[in-house]
Amino acid sequence: MEKLKVSKDNNQSRMHFVNYWANYIRSTPDWKWGEQQNLLINSMMHSGKFYPFSAKQYLKLKGEKYSELRT
């Protein structure tokens, strides 16, 4: 598998990462990358529980609009 390259051009770096990740998924057994994704997602969910802001407060801090979804 090729190594991940970093380029001075941001768009080129992004495209290289997409190709790198697609090749990784194609060449790695499902169970292996699935476990890695599970670990990443679970850690993000865990850390999100301890984030000091609500979604509304976070978006306000960033200067973005917040709209609640209504069902």
Which three-class secondary structure string do you get for 1-60? CCCCCCCCCHHHHHHHHHHHHHHHHHHCCHHHHHHHHHHHHHHHHHHHCCCCCCHHHHHH
The string of pLDDT tens digits covering residues 3-62 is 766 777 888 888 888 998 899 889 999 899 889 889 999 998 888 788 788 878 888 888
User: What's the rounded Cα separation, in Å, for the pair 17 and 21?
Assistant: 6
Q: Which amino acid is at 41?
A: I
**pLDDT at residue 38 in the model:** 93
The string of pLDDT tens digits covering residues 6-22 is 777 888 888 888 998 89
Every domain of the chain and the residues it spans: 10-62
Farthest CA pair distance, the chain:
47
The more confident residue out of 2 and 28 is: 28
